[in-house]
Amino acid sequence: MSELTFDSVGTAIVVIDMQNGFCHPDGSLYAPKSEAVIEPIKSVTERAHAADIPVVYTRDVHPPEQFEGAHYYDEFDRWGEHVVEESWESELVAELEPHPDDHIVEKHTYDAFYQTELHGWLQAHGIKDLLICGTLANVCVLHTAGSAGLRDYQPVLLSDAIGAIESGHHEYALDHAGWLFGEVTETDAVEFRARN
């Protein structure tokens, strides 16, 4: 796999939904493959911090009443109640405690750009390239990466730092993203060029 080099100016790491509800064994939507990517994500975010590259964490958070009266889009109906606002489930896993300068985006759907400040924050910081990791591959990672591509960011999915419920979901999401709107690589193939 060829190496990709990203400058600290114009690049950000986006870590999707690495929360207790998805990545901790006591979480209601726990998936072992989501827990398994904690260490690769920790490694790549530490490298990013060393190169002065911004790190953005998204948190999937649902107010208890969010889906009351919904016509069709009801995640509680599809998945059961999960990552409810102000709950332990909605918190990021302890191993990935954000640095003071990291940015946290709360989202309420699969897409981290939908009705959030993410796009505005990235524009304000001159970000063009997004290195995306987190969970789940075929849900929030895929929808966020696709939305990034539609907004003319370059989404680069870090395959070994993306969790899934099943291996087939992981493979499908990465194949689809690489074919349609993004790039796919591994964390070891990414090099960071620090700001002078």
Given a contact cutoff of 8 angstroms between Cβ atoms, the answer to whether 62 and 75 are in contact is: yes
CATH of the domain at 98: 3.40.50.850
Nearest to 140 by CA among 112, 174, 121: 112
Write down the residue that tokens 């990203």 correspond to. Answer: 6
C-alpha 55/C-alpha 124 separation (Å) is 14
Q: Does the pLDDT at position 60 exceed 60?
A: yes
Nearest to 15 by CA among 136, 134, 157: 134
How many structural domains is the chain composed of? 1
Q: Which residues on neighbouring strands pair with residue 188, listed in sequence order?
A: none
| Phi and psi torsions of 150, nearest 5° | -65, -25
99 pLDDT tier (thresholds 50, 70, 90): very high
Range of the domain at 27: 4-193
Q: Does the pLDDT at position 8 exceed 70?
A: yes
| pLDDT value for 196 | 61
C-alpha 180/C-alpha 149 separation (Å) is 9
C-alpha 72/C-alpha 161 separation (Å) is 32
1 pLDDT tier (thresholds 50, 70, 90): low
Q: What is the pLDDT of residues 140-157, one digit of tens each?
A: 999 999 999 999 999 999
| pLDDT value for 87 | 98
Rounded mean pLDDT of the chain? 96
